[in-house]
Chain A
Amino acid sequence: MITISEVKKIATLARLSFNEEEYASLAQQLTDIMSMINVLNNVDCDGVEPLTSVLDQTQRLRKDEVTENDISEALFINAPGESGNFAREIKCFIVPKVIE
């Protein structure tokens, strides 16, 4: 059972917000989904090594070297919102003030 106040807490963690009606319906839906997931409790997995990757190989690391020249022009094309043009001009992403 997932309560509305738990749903609100999860939403805050996920940086999402909903209206009251949606919180109530999410509480029901998440309860349904988690009860489907709870069948996992029927199986004893003690001593089983968790599977984090299906590959038998360890993940490669690449060399830390520059492979692209300056492509900032291309990257700033997608700078969002009203400040997008200014961002392209000064080549800095613009966000709301984060320090007083």
Chain B
Amino acid sequence: MQDITKLTICQALEKLQNKEFSSTELTEAHIKNIEAHKNLNAYITETFDLALSQASKADINYKNDEPRKLEGIPIGVKDLFCTKDVRTTSASGILANFVPPYESTVSGKVLNEGAVMLGKTNMDDAAMGSSNLTSHFGKVISPWQAIDSDQQLVPGGSSGGSSAAVSGFLSMASLGSDTGGSVRQPASFTGTVGIKPTYGRCSRWGMIAFASSLDQAGVITRTVEDAALMLECMMGFDEKDSTSLDLPIPELRSACQASIKGMKIGVPNNLMELEGISSEIIQMWQQSIATLESEGAEIIDIELPHAKYALATYYVIAPAEASSNLSRYDGVKYGLRVEQDGMSLDEMYTLTRSKGFGEEVKRRIMIGTHVLSSAFMDAYYLKAQKMRRLIANDFKNAFAKTQVILLPSAPSAAFGVDEKQDNPVTMYLNDIFTIPASLAGLPCISVPSALTSQNLPLGMQIIGPALDEYNVIKIARAIERSVSHLNFTPKGF
């Protein structure tokens, strides 16, 4: 019998509609996979009872011919989306027992379209990391391994539980969030599709904040069309988020059928010469350019002269915003509290925060506090905001002559969970290609585009101008079509 967990969402919806199997069967099959691959540690909290009750409701809706857009599709939800009455931790010790009394807008929208929640996926502590090694609940192991190697690899981060779950068939899609690349880089590492829309398209209400001017919900799926469908269900105006865009939700799935003939695609050749990019990444990049050109697209040489300053800019702005956002964790109203007899309020704050936050989170709070301190505010924070303007302007100038921009998603394939990195800057370099678009708030996607000689997946990134998710999906689908001969299923899955 066919393994129904291997279907795409679009295929599964059709078969559910035709009553070839029920949502309960589909959900049970995924639960079985999760049980069989506990070692991956993809989920922090499993919600199987809830999932089965949602699935049985979905089955009734199919029976009555009233299915919603995602009726009966089992998904994972990154553990920074607050889910009503279901523990939400942001993979942090400080929220390890937090049970939200409310539902985030994005998870609520998806569940209201009939999706079935299998559980809350693991992630880096407070979404800070590119490896999923920093989670309070333990690292996530990628379903992927290199040829002839038993080394365990990282699934990327911070949405590493989401990427591991989708690539290992432990969910059909998983919600993620992307501040500097946290959906795109894990998608690249695991042979999955990761999309983040324009800043403001998805409500941030109920998403545990990291860096508010950058945070945006995204989703990881196995195909571009599934990503388009999921995103359609996630976007939309929300009164509760003051940065939410009051615009109609674009229809995205038809982009998957559209021709790319005559489209203008920008390639920032100056970034190909950056240090530390593996030769296989360059090869993939050139292959994608050739493919798109052969399908009738016009390749335009563009420059993003300030992109090389994006990493430095990001590591001022994101930690600054994080240090401010995370000041709410003080042990007073919710979350962890560490207390001792006779201590002062300040001591309670300090003990609680020192115990509750992980090493990487504390490091970023320290950077943020430093760059916001009165003596350095102008030299660092204000300077970074000015640089952010120059980076955003680079994109504006580029989009005057091109419709999308083509970049790799990450500078290398997935690395080992045991690869020691003494200098945190080495880890930060993982996001060198994803950060520029984040700083400019632009829609972008990572699509699996190549396999290395070690049989590890690599992703290409497509960036569009603000609000143009449609063309981003169109180009991603063209690349996906061109690599349909490659197998992006990890061995043994």
Contact = CB atoms under 8 A, between A and B. Distances in A.
Interface residues of B, number: 70
B345 A51 contact: no
A80 B323 contact: no
Interface in B352-388: 353-354, 357, 362-363, 365-367, 369-371, 373, 380, 382-388
A39 B297 CA distance: 36
Interface string A61-100: 1100000000100110111111000000000010111100
A40 B313 contact: yes
Nearest to A56: B466
A50 B316 contact: no
B367 A30 contact: yes
Interface in B428-446: 428, 439-441
Interface in B387-404: 387-390, 392
A13 to B, nearest CB: 5
B346 A15 contact: yes
B61 interface: no
A32 B390 contact: no
Nearest to B440: A54
Given A17-B350, A77-B99, A77-B101, A95 B332 contact: yes
Contacts of B339: 81-82, 96
Contacts of A18: 354, 362
Interface string B338-350: 0100011111111
A54 B199 contact: yes
Interface string B209-231: 00001000000000000000000
Interface in B303-339: 306, 308-309, 311-313, 315-316, 323, 327, 330-337, 339
A12 B441 CA distance: 33
B267 to A, nearest CB: 23
Contact of B316 (A11, A17, A37, A60): A37
Nearest to B242: A59
B425 interface: yes
B213 A48 contact: no
A16 B354 contact: yes
A48 B362 contact: no
Interface residues of A, number: 51
A40 B384 contact: yes
Contacts of A10: 366, 369-370, 373
B353 A15 contact: yes
Contacts of A79: 333-334
A43 B309 CA distance: 9
Given A14-B323, A36-B428, A51 B348 contact: no
A3 interface: no
Contacts, number: 164
A34 B367 CA distance: 8
Nearest to A57: B245
Contacts of A39: 308-309, 312
B333 A93 contact: yes
Nearest to B366: A10
- Counting chain A CB atoms within 10 Å of each CB, the highest count among B243, B330, B371 belongs to B243
A49 interface: yes
A98 B349 CA distance: 13
A77 B199 CA distance: 33
A53 B101 contact: no
A87 to B, nearest CB: 9
A1 interface: no
Contacts of A98: 344-345
Given A39-B312, A54-B441, A16 B362 contact: yes
A42 to B, nearest CB: 8
Contacts of B423: 29, 32
A37 B466 CA distance: 27
Contact of A17 (B334, B345, B354, B386): B354
A14 B369 contact: yes
Nearest to A63: B239
A76 B386 CA distance: 42
- Counting chain B CB atoms within 10 Å of each CB, the highest count among A26, A55, A71 belongs to A55
Nearest to A35: B425
A2 B353 CA distance: 22
B424 A32 contact: yes
Contacts of A2: 370
B415 interface: no
B388 A51 contact: yes
B213 A52 contact: yes
B459 interface: no
Given A16-B365, A32-B423, A45 B383 contact: yes
B362 A33 contact: no
Contact of A48 (B345, B350, B367, B386): B386
A100 B243 CA distance: 43
A33 B367 contact: yes
A7 interface: yes
Interface of A: 2, 7, 10-11, 13-18, 26, 29-30, 32-34, 36-41, 43, 45, 48-55, 57, 59-62, 71, 74-75, 77-82, 93, 95-98
Q: What are the 3 closest A-B residue pairs judged by CB atoms, nearest first?
A: A54-B441, A50-B385, A78-B334
Given A15-B353, A52-B385, 7 more contacts: A33-B315, A33-B428, A37-B316, A53-B243, A55-B199, A82-B339, A95-B348
